[in-house]
């Protein structure tokens, strides 16, 4: 739906009158001291804001006075008149011609105040009636990707909490309301909601969330001053909720410039999934040689470098071996990667000297604490702002760079976002401030020529990684019910695909194609699905033990499988060219925390449709209308990538049948079609 140019108009029921042309208008109802926001033909009624100061909850709808100030770019309503209480400023800033706006609340005192909770956008009456019926969903976004957390697409009626962003949509029409924070420098943002038969009955968007899902054991920190502002939110109603989330990503990227990477999407190998705790010098050299002698020439290559990465337990190699490993990778035309946890003490050794501090600091000095006790998620957390932590960062990053590593995987960095009693830098008072402080310093140490892959990490802020793992470990194990790791990772893609707007790449994690004790789960269909899930997400890193030397050489079948499915299939021709695929629907997963079966990617003159069958016994059959894919009715034939089979389509749709626990990728040329498709997407027979 095309949105007409916006012109903000401010109206009181009988007194204030302004130009009503345009698509976004705001009305102040002085009888209730709430706001009505009109977006096209839709209305959001009873909108208000809140803030907490000195234990008092201030609500704009409780104030006796409201004064409106308008400029060409924004409108601010100042709520005042409560004796002894701070004023609330509610500011709206529309985006011309787009159907969405930004909103923020500022608490203004006549003296210094402090707050750890401000809600800039709230309502508690039923509205958005277009979000109802069997296909209505509420999207819950997790704060981070720790503890195998899932995204959720929840049918009404329901209530819950999302973090930093959410979508409320009607699946058949795709129309939806998008709400999300566009500023991630000071606050953690929660979005509490309730839906029912009449749409959304309650929405409460606030800065100051600190709970089990943010991994916090301490209340959110306070921000102080004569004025304290909330996080800025984007709110909009979109004809397609998927475009709405992508727009949110674009707006975040305007404020948090994504970390630069211009060398093409990376591919490679990581030691954690199969070699795991047994990283060994002969073994990793053998992996590098296998890539150079067989895998790369067979087709496993991308537009960018091939990285051979050492994960945890890389310190089983001594310095001489690490240096030789890097040199060996370079001689094979590859680059070397390594792993580190900048905000963790895994040894839980408080009396140990902090590396790089020359004895000035011990680990007990740099711990984050709550109630005086060290904080811990999986490992003890260290203060990102502390001088000792920075000395430690400089020590390790200088070491990695001197050895020649150019790919750095940072793990468990959600430790750095924990709320705490205090921070070494007294100007820092919240967990996200501390996280920004530490990550900014870390990235400056790394420079622009290193690929930074974030592993266990908050979704936001996003500007510190070239890639972020979209889910947690994808070990490869599967089950009949939810298809294990493949389905779990695809759950994150289903509702987090749009994060490739703020990260150069979403990272699907390591891809396993072989496990000797689970052969039934690693058959041809399962491995086609694993490779498909990777190429439609982002980077492609293999995880099998591909060594033939060392203390735990891999099974030769592992090499055979990656040669067949990862290289010989030509599937990497689909990777890295159109970003992450988006879900076709968003409401058709079997359960609220499962994955969507169908995803769509745009290759310019070709539309690719990836379909996964999660059932262990029955084939998945169906029909997709071309107009659902934004294609015209001129498509006459289409090709399935893995088999190369060309089928004829109907006049307005195409049919598919996917075998149990398998995946297929259909390539549909746009416009009038012959039996040929883009040669760059051809299957290697």
Tens digits of per-residue pLDDT, 594-644? Answer: 999 999 999 999 999 999 999 889 999 999 999 999 997 778 899 999 999
Residue 392 has pLDDT above 60, yes or no: yes
Cα–Cα distance measured from residue 310 to residue 196, given in angstroms and rounded to the nearest whole number: 49
Give backbone dihedrals phi and psi of 159, rounded to 5 degrees, phi first: -145, 155
Tens digits of per-residue pLDDT, 537-556? Answer: 999 999 999 999 999 999 99
Sequence-separated (6 or more) residues with CB below 8 Å from residue 396: 340, 342, 355, 356
Domain ranges of the chain: 10-255, 267-574, 597-681
Angle between helices 524-535 and 484-496 (to 10 degrees): 20
- The total of other beta-carbon atoms located within 10 Å of residue 65's CB is 12
- Over residues 246-262, the mean pLDDT reads 96
The answer to whether 63 and 72 are in contact (CB under 8 A) is no
Predicted local confidence at residue 633, as pLDDT? 72
Percentage of the chain beyond pLDDT 70 is 93
- The total of other beta-carbon atoms located within 10 Å of residue 218's CB is 16
Could you name the CATH architecture of 267-574? Alpha-Beta Barrel (3.20)
Residue 211's Cβ-count burial label (10 Å; 0-12, 13-18, 19+) is middle
- Over residues 22-30, the mean pLDDT reads 85
- Which among 663, 638, 660, 662 has a CA at the least distance from the CA of 649? 638
Determine whether domain 10-255 maps to CATH 2.70.98.10. Answer: yes
- Which among 77, 22, 70 has a CA at the least distance from the CA of 48? 77
Cα–Cα distance measured from residue 64 to residue 585, given in angstroms and rounded to the nearest whole number: 46
User: Taking the CA of residue 469 as centre, how many other CA atoms within 13 Å lie in the half-sphere pointing to its CB?
Assistant: 26
Predicted local confidence at residue 1, as pLDDT? 32
Determine whether domain 597-681 maps to CATH 2.60.40.1180. Answer: yes
Residue 354 carries which DSSP code? P
The answer to whether 47 and 27 are in contact (CB under 8 A) is no
Predicted local confidence at residue 628, as pLDDT? 95
CA–CA distances in Å: residue 527 to residues 302, 444, 532? 19, 39, 8
Cis status, amide bond into 461, omega within 30 of 0: yes
- The total of other beta-carbon atoms located within 10 Å of residue 622's CB is 14
The answer to whether 147 and 472 are in contact (CB under 8 A) is yes
Tens digits of per-residue pLDDT, 259-285? Answer: 999 998 899 999 999 999 999 999 999
Predicted local confidence at residue 477, as pLDDT? 56
* Residue given tokens 């006790």 in the structure block: 373
- Over residues 559-570, the mean pLDDT reads 95
The answer to whether 420 and 370 are in contact (CB under 8 A) is yes
- Give 230-246 as a DSSP string: PPPEEEEEESSHHHHHH
Sequence-separated (6 or more) residues with CB below 8 Å from residue 632: 626, 670, 671
CA angle 92-95-97, nearest 5°? 135
- Give 251-315 as a DSSP string: HHHHHSPPPP--S---EEEESTTTTGGG--HHHHHHHHHHIIIIITTTT---SSPEEEE--TTGG
Cα–Cα distance measured from residue 202 to residue 198, given in angstroms and rounded to the nearest whole number: 11
Which helix (H) or strand (E) is 494 found in, with range?
Answer: helix 484-496
Confidence tier at 20 by pLDDT (50, 70, 90)? very low
Percentage of the chain beyond pLDDT 90 is 85
Computed from CA positions of residues 165, 168, 174, 178, in that sequence, does the dihedral angle turn out positive or negative?
A: negative
Tens digits of per-residue pLDDT, 347-376? Answer: 999 999 999 999 999 999 999 999 999 999
Tens digits of per-residue pLDDT, 118-163? Answer: 999 999 999 999 999 999 999 999 999 999 999 999 999 999 999 9
Cis status, amide bond into 537, omega within 30 of 0: no
- The total of other beta-carbon atoms located within 10 Å of residue 455's CB is 25
């Amino acid at each position: 739906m095309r949105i007409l140019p916006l012109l903000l108009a401010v109206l009181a029921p009988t007194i204030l009158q302004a130009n009503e042309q345009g698509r976004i208008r705001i009305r102040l109802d002085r009888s209730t001291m709430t706001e009505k926001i009109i977006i096209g033909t839709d209305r959001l009624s009873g909108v208000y804001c809140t803030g907490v100061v000195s234990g008092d909850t201030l609500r704009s709808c409780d104030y006796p006075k409201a004064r409106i100030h308008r400029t060409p770019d924004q409108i601010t309503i100042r709520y005042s008149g409560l004796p002894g209480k701070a004023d609330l400023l509610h500011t709206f800033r529309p985006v011309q011609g787009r159907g969405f706006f930004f909103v923020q609340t500022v608490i203004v005192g006549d003296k210094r105040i402090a707050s750890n909770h401000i809600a800039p956008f709230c309502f508690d009456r039923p509205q958005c009636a277009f979000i109802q019926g069997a296909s209505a969903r509420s999207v819950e976004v997790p704060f981070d990707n720790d503890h195998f957390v899932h995204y959720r697409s929840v049918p009404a009626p329901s209530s819950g909490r999302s973090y930093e962003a959410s979508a409320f949509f009607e699946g058949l029409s795709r129309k939806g309301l998008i709400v999300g924070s566009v500023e991630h420098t000071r606050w953690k943002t929660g979005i509490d909601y309730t839906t029912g038969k009449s749409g959304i009955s309650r929405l409460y968007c606030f800065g100051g969330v600190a709970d089990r899902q943010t991994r916090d054991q301490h209340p959110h920190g306070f921000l102080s001053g004569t004025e304290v502002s909330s996080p800025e939110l984007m709110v909009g109603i979109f004809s397609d909720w998927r475009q709405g989330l992508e727009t949110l990503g674009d707006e975040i990227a305007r404020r948090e410039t994504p970390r630069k990477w211009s060398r093409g999407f990376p591919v490679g190998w990581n030691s954690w999934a199969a070699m795991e705790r047994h990283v060994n010098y002969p073994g990793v050299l053998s992996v590098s040689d296998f890539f150079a002698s067989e895998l790369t020439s067979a087709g496993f290559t991308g537009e960018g470098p091939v990285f051979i990465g050492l994960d945890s337990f890389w310190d089983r190699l001594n310095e001489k071996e690490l240096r030789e490993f890097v040199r060996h990778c370079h001689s094979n035309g590859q680059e070397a990667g390594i792993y580190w946890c900048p905000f963790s003490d895994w040894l839980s050794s408080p009396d140990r000297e902090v590396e790089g501090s020359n004895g000035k600091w011990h680990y007990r000095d740099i711990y984050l604490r709550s109630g005086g006790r060290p904080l811990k998620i999986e490992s003890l957390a260290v203060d990102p702002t502390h001088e000792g932590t920075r000395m430690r960062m400089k020590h390790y990053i200088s070491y990695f760079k001197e050895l020649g590593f150019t790919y750095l995987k940072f793990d468990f960095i959600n430790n750095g976002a924990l709320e705490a009693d205090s921070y070494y830098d007294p100007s820092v008072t919240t967990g996200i401030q501390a996280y920004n402080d530490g990550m900014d310093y870390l990235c400056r140490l790394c420079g622009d020529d290193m690929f930074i892959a974030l592993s266990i990490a908050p979704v936001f802020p996003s500007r510190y990684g070239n890639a972020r793992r979209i889910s947690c470990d994808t070990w490869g194990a599967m089950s009949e019910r939810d298809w294990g790791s493949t389905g779990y990772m695809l759950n994150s893609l289903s509702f987090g695909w749009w994060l490739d707007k703020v990260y150069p790449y979403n990272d699907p994690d390591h891809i396993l194609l072989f496990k000797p004790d689970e052969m039934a789960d690693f058959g041809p269909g399962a491995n086609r699905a694993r490779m498909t899930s990777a190429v439609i997400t982002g980077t492609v890193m293999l995880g099998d033990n591909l060594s033939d030397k060392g203390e735990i050489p891999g099974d030769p079948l592992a090499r055979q499988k990656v040669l067949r499915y990862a290289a010989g299939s030509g599937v990497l021709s689909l990777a890295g060219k159109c970003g992450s695929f988006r879900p076709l629907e968003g409401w058709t997963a079997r359960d609220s925390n499962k994955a969507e079966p169908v995803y769509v990617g745009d290759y310019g003159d070709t539309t690719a449709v990836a379909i996964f069958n999660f059932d262990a016994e029955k084939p998945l059959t169906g029909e997709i209308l071309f107009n659902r894919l934004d294609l015209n009715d001129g498509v006459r034939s289409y090709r399935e990538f893995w088999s190369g089979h060309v089928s004829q389509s109907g006049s307005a749709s195409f049919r598919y049948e996917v075998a149990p626990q398998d995946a297929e990728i259909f390539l549909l040329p746009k416009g009038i079609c012959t039996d040929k498709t883009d040669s760059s997407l051809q299957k290697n027979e």
